[in-house]
Structures are given as C-alpha cells and as structure tokens.
Chain A
C-alpha cells in the first residue's frame, strides 16, 4: 500500500508541477504584492512622505519652537525606551517605567545607540517659520500651497495654541499633546519651577503590579502573545489558501473516469494518502518559495530595524520554525483529508463550490476559538482548543510561540498525525459506499465496518 501511495503521489506531484497553472499559482502572491506596491505608488500621496511629517511652528514671540523640538525628541526617546523595555523588563537598564523618566534621564538615554535608532524611526520634525503679520493666514497659505512641505502648522499666540492640519496631516492629537507639554515646560521654566517638578517626578515610586493568574505569560514576555497570535493566524491563512484545493481533487479523477482504474489496482486509502501527500508536497514547495521571497525580504527589512524591536520566541526562532513546519503538515493532512473526503462525494465543481462556504465558516469558527483561547491562557477551554484536532495545529503553534515545552508538542504532533490517518480511513470507507456503490449513503453501522443487517 505504501508503494501504491507513492506511485499516486508521484504522478500527482509531476502533473501539478508541470501544469501551466503551477507557475501562475506560485507567482500569484508575488504578483499580488507587486500589484499592491504599484497601487500604493500610483494611488498614494503625491507629496514626499516626509512633508506630512513636518510641522511648521509659527511663533511671533520666537521662543516656542525650541521647546517643541526638545519635548518631541524626549517623547520619542521615551517611546523607544518603552518598546525596548517590553522585551527587556528584567534587565536593570530598563527597570524604571518610561512614564517616570526625567528629562535628564531621557537626554542620557537618547545617546544610546539602540534607543536612538528606534527614536529616529518616523520622527516628526518641527520647523520654526518666521511669523508674518497674519499668522493664521500664513498657516492657511503654507498648508494649501501646491507641493507644500508641511503636514501641519502650529500657530503660537500669547494665550493660545492653534493647530492647522492638511488632508495628509500627521496625527493631530499627538501634536496637540506635544504642544501642550512644551507649553507647560516653558511656563514652568518661566516660573523657575522646572527643576522642582523634575525632582518630584524623579522621586515618584514605581507601582508594583502582581498578576494573580496562573496561566499568564511570564513577566518580561509581553511580545509572546503577539507572536502567538501572529503564528496561529499565518498558519490559518496558509491552510485556508492551500488545503481548499483538495475539495475538488477527486472530482477531477471522477470526471476523467480514471477512478475505476485506480480503485481496481490499489486500496482506496492509498489513493487518498497519495493525493494528500502530493498536494502537501506541492504546497510545501509553494511555502518554501514564498518563504524565501517574503521571509528573505522580511529578514532584510528586519535587519534594518534596531535590535530588540521585534519580539523573540522564548525558545528561539529555529524551534518555532521547525514546529511551524510540523504543524503546517499536521493541519494540512487533517484538513486535506476532510476536504478530500467531502469533495469526493461531489460529482461536479458546482457541488464543490456549494460546499466551500460551510467549510469556510467552519474554519472561521476554529480561528476565532483559537485566538480567543490564546488570548486567555490556562483553564479548561485553553486545553480543549489545544487538543481538539481541528484547532490543535493552530493553537499549538501559538503555544510554541509563547514557549510551551517541546514534549507537549511532540505528543500533539503524534495525536494529530494519528487523527489524520483516522480521517483518511473514514473518508476512504465513505468513498467506497458513497461513490462506488452509487446508492444511498451508508449507515453508521456500515461506516463502522460492521456487516449490514439482513434485509
């Protein structure tokens, strides 16, 4: 039976790879990405991207722009510090919460290479513009001018701050917050209170937080849930895109009328297993190619980012990727076997299309359950979703991203492969009764392999 399985798998792999559609299929995600990039270039903002990041500060008094620039720089440093602190909370350098850092501490942190690099990403700049007689009219003119280099204009009045934004303005709320902070800083300095306020802030204690939830992720791994959700979602997307093709796989055999030649020569489970293995191999080729293209691109982009910005899996990228491959295989075999079994009962592509909607709904329910369970670790539901065969692969990959021990994964993979074999055997039996006998559907008794009752 193993030999027959590989004869069928080999034929299907070659037939798929040598078909004209295969290259199109392989290139489709790349074409999609290229189209998206093209569309964003054609339909995107005509003005340079940096224009919307630049805010004109029109200050007749002439002293507000430096305050604005200093406050913006410190807030960027504070944000960068907070992002790095997420994954380095346990280290001494990041022990203090970002909100409690003083100006002096922020100025010192800005000189650190990692923080400075993150702070430089997408930085807004505040440019002082000499005020004219009518600052409001000047702001209008600056923003509405063709090819304006400003995304917003801040007019500083003696008793008010007026913010004008264009269509492509940077976040107005953020500029307003920064302007408010700068106003307060300037006022405190004018009153001689700046040093005292800083001292009060420096003396403020950190608030100790203890989470009384056994299943919660360990402290310092705030990035893990994001990674878990991301991993489960990517796996779900791949399975949804790739395994669905198996729904129509047996319809082809039936329409070619070759199914009887196959069934007369090899056991039906071997036909199913061969087709599954073939489609899995083709899908893995696709995943490998896309992984090289997109993964390589992602790694290149990630290499440009400052260290520590991306979350790291608790047990390392290598183990996560290996488990990702294993769970992709498991999920593909389980869903593929179900799709192949259900699809084999259809006679036409129309019937397959009718079936694809409930299948999609089922998948969505599984995804929602998985993401829900991942967001609430621990407990009965968490374990149910982890071991329920249709959600196990997604859930366990999510858990792998969050750091679950390897032994649990090996047990889960064994269970999922056994379940896939069970589905293949069941689907083959259903096929023998449902298709070859061309009669009414089998009873549960017949599906269980028992002799039918005497008529």
Chain B
C-alpha cells in the first residue's frame, strides 16, 4: 500500500524526559487518520518530528516518500497546536503568506486566499487585520491558510480546540472535502467524537509509544459488547439463564435494568429463555463500546504496564 506517512520507532528525549519512546505510524494515502493520546503523551512532539521541525533521536520517518520532510513542504499543510498569525496582517495576506512560504506564487496565493475566505463566510473580512478578529475567526483564518496550497498531506494538531460547534462542523466538512480531493489528513485530538465520526484509521499513543493502530471498529472491538436488558419483573436468577462462564454486572434501576457482557454464544439463547420464563421484556439491546471506552481501556492498560515496570 502507498503511504503518505511512515514512521518507525520514532524517539525523542528532552533532557531527562523521554517525550517519545517508540512511535510507529503508517497513514495510507487518501485517508483521514486520527492521532489520539492523553495530554503529554507525545502527540505534538511526534507530529513535529514527522514534519521536520524536530529531528528525532532515533527511528525513521518518511513523509510523502521523502525522509527529508522540508523537501516536500510545498505539498504539506500544517496547523500547529499553538495558533499564531501576524496581528498587523490582513486575512488575505496572512493566508497568502503561508501559501508563499509553501512555494506558491504570491499572486496565485492571494487569489486562492480570496476563494477560501469567500467559501467559508469570511469574504467580507478579507482586508480586515487579524488583530481585529475574534479568537475563533483568527483560528479559522489559520485553518484556511493550512489548505491554501492544496496540499497532498494535511497535518492538524488539535484542530477542533477553541472552535464553536458550528465551526467544528465546518471544519469536519472541510476535512472531508480535502479527502475527497485526494489529500491525506492526519489530525491529533482527544475529543473522541470527532475521531469516531471522521477517521478511517486511528493511532493511539500513551507514554510516548504506539498502543493501538487500526480502524475505529477495531479499536472498539478492543472491549466486548454489552447487553442492556430492562424487564417488567425482577430476574433473580439471571445468572442461571446465561451460558456457563458468563459474568453479570447487574445494574438494577427503575424498571429492573440489567447490563452484562454479550455472551460468547450471542443473545438468542438468552432471549429464548427470557421469553419462556415470561419476564416481561421492555427493552433489550446490544451496546457496542464507544471509542471513548476503547481509548480509556487502551490508555489504562498502558498506564498499568508503566506502573508495573516502574514498580519492578
């Protein structure tokens, strides 16, 4: 498969602190990939190494087929975690400047800036100075600057933070439109809903190491599905109805509510049993684990491993 980003065993140490201890990452061309991790997990450092802002202490990286990221800078768009623009510049010039830095001709970059501003509701602000913008508007201008050069690869570090729900939705649409154009997108976040909605693949890191790589479904499959059952009459002998080896985490609530892992044999035997005993089923459904649950579980396992290693 053709990859836009390939990284293997990337590591980086800042003095005494091992910020990244071994990150593996492969992002196929044309995909939207989420890069997930807790605060301080090493996401930003990894992205900076991928883009050539930082040199890794160990490991290898290839960006659009090149091991010198700056040599392909004209084909890359990057939104850093810490947003920054020159306050005295106009919105058009700020976007065009990033385009010029990324190899575009200035005139062409200005035309493109006007197009982007108009398409995203900021056309009337093209000549306004950044210092007159609200934080959200300035952030949107920087987002547009990231797309100015029609990059083949777009790297976004926490792109949704600081945006209101309408602008978050707008950004989601922009990302999807870029993917439809053929671009590859890698974005870091710790808001699982965005990743769950948008990503073709995920990489989860914890304590500077890759802990998971795969699709959203594969991540969710990390935990078993659970059955939620609500009955008319209490089921005092639910355990007995389940296949041997099942455990029940009964969470009775109003209306006799039960929640337990999906039995390995499926739900049908249990359903047949419930019907036979006349328990009065009011609701029964299978609850798949969310990405949030999977992320917490994966990161929790990593924490436990680190604690065990430190204790040893």
Chain A residues packing against B (C-beta within 8 Å): 3-4, 7-8, 11, 15, 18-19, 256-267, 432, 436-440, 452, 455
Q: Which of B54, B83, B101 contacts A262 (CB 8 A)?
A: B101
B87: chain A residues within 8 A (beta carbon): 256
B84: chain A residues within 8 A (beta carbon): 256-261
B51: chain A residues within 8 A (beta carbon): 264
* Contact indicator per residue, chain B 41-55, by CB within 8 Å of chain A (1) or not (0): 000000010011111
Given contacts A4-B101, A261-B78, A265-B101, contact A19 B88 (CB under 8 A): yes
Assembly CA distance A41 to B270 (angstroms): 107
B209 sits at the interface (CB 8 A): no
Whether the Cβ atoms of B73 and A455 lie closer than 8 Å is: no
A437: chain B residues within 8 A (beta carbon): 14, 54
B80 sits at the interface (CB 8 A): yes
Smallest distance from the beta carbon of A248 to chain B beta carbons, Å?
15
A15: chain B residues within 8 A (beta carbon): 86, 88-89
Closest 3 CB pairs of A and B: A257-B84, A439-B14, A258-B84
Given contacts A256-B85, A258-B85, contact A7 B101 (CB under 8 A): yes
Q: A7-B97, A256-B86 are in contact. List 18 more A-B contacts (CB 8 A).
A: A7-B101, A7-B106, A8-B101, A11-B97, A15-B88, A15-B89, A18-B88, A256-B84, A259-B84, A261-B84, A261-B101, A263-B53, A264-B51, A264-B52, A264-B53, A266-B70, A436-B54, A437-B54
B100 sits at the interface (CB 8 A): yes
* Size band of the interface chain B makes with A: 20 to 34
A455: chain B residues within 8 A (beta carbon): 13
Q: Report which residue of A3, A15, A261 has the largest number of chain B beta carbons within 10 angstroms of its beta carbon.
A: A261
Whether the Cβ atoms of B14 and A438 lie closer than 8 Å is: yes
Smallest distance from the beta carbon of A86 to chain B beta carbons, Å?
54
Name which residue of chain B comes closest to A6, CB basis.
B100
Cβ-Cβ contact count across A and B, 8 Å cutoff? 70
Q: Which of B82, B88, B97 contacts A257 (CB 8 A)?
A: B82
Smallest distance from the beta carbon of A279 to chain B beta carbons, Å?
16
B170 sits at the interface (CB 8 A): no
Assembly CA distance A267 to B73 (angstroms): 10
Whether the Cβ atoms of A264 and B80 lie closer than 8 Å is: yes
Name which residue of chain B comes closest to A455, CB basis.
B13
In B42-96, the 8 Å CB interface with A consists of 48, 51-55, 57, 70, 73, 76, 78, 80, 82-89
A260: chain B residues within 8 A (beta carbon): 48, 53, 80, 82, 84
Smallest distance from the beta carbon of A425 to chain B beta carbons, Å?
16
Assembly CA distance A263 to B70 (angstroms): 9
Q: Which of A266, A438, A452 contacts B101 (CB 8 A)?
A: A266
Name which residue of chain A comes closest to B44, CB basis.
A260
A19: chain B residues within 8 A (beta carbon): 88
Smallest distance from the beta carbon of B102 to chain A beta carbons, Å?
6
Assembly CA distance A11 to B78 (angstroms): 20
Smallest distance from the beta carbon of A195 to chain B beta carbons, Å?
82
Whether the Cβ atoms of B15 and A439 lie closer than 8 Å is: yes
B298: chain A residues within 8 A (beta carbon): none
Assembly CA distance A267 to B53 (angstroms): 9
A262: chain B residues within 8 A (beta carbon): 101
Whether the Cβ atoms of B78 and A440 lie closer than 8 Å is: no
Given contacts A438-B14, A439-B14, contact A265 B86 (CB under 8 A): no
In B188-212, the 8 Å CB interface with A consists of none
Smallest distance from the beta carbon of B74 to chain A beta carbons, Å?
9
